Amino acid sequence: MLQQPKSGPKGAVARDVLHEDATLRVWALREVVAVAWFEAPTAQQLRELQRLAKQRLLKHPRGLWLYQIVVRGTPRFTDDVRVEVDRITRELTFSLGSVHVILAPGLAGAAARAFLSTALLVRKNSLPAKVFGEFDGAAAWMARELGAGWQATELAELGRAIVDGGRAPAG
């Protein structure tokens, strides 16, 4: 379901909408693939993410960056989901790096940030990866890692827009 490009409100960052359903949005801005989860992923959704990323690699052979945002949801990781996550990681689908923004509130959000931070510390590759609880810090770090041509403001706006569904972010 590729729609290109979608522009939001005046001054919004143009992006490609790769997939949208009730629990998952996948958008792209150049080599950055932004993923917003509104519920825990299913194996089928992860396979679709992998398919979309491989398709995006044709346009960006240097590699892709994962901008993953967990908005809400109860962490449920079935064996099928773990298999798909392992495959995405093993195949280095997002070979430039990743940033993970955990917006889920309360203890669940804190636990998710702690779990993911620990998992990133013990992983078997040295790709840049970091966990945040908000967009501005994540976007600033990601812009530095991506290098020339990237602005923290455009990356923060992309994150806010994907969560908001493309409507102008509140406030």
Question: Could you read off the pLDDT of 12-35 as tens digits, one per residue?
Answer: 567 899 999 988 999 999 999 999
Handedness of CA 145, 148, 162, 2 (dihedral sign): negative
Question: pLDDT at residue 7 above 50?
Answer: no
Do the domain assignments include residue 115? yes
Q: Which of 57-61, 69-73, 81-85, 135-139 has the lowest mean pLDDT?
A: 81-85
- Cβ-in-10-Å burial (0-12, 13-18, 19+) of 131 comes to buried
Do the domain assignments include residue 93? yes
Q: How much is the pLDDT for 12?
A: 56
Do the domain assignments include residue 169? no
Domain of residue 96: give its range.
Answer: 3-164
* Contact assessment for residue 41 and residue 71, using Cβ atoms and an 8 Å cutoff: no
Query: At 135, phi and psi to the nearest 5?
Result: -75, -40
Do the domain assignments include residue 131? yes
Q: What is the mean pLDDT of the chain?
A: 84
129-132 and 65-70: which strand pairing?
unpaired
Do the domain assignments include residue 25? yes
> Which amino acid, one-letter code, is at 162?
I
pTM listed for this prediction: 0.85
> How many domains does the chain divide into?
1
Residue, of 151 and 11, whose pLDDT is higher: 151
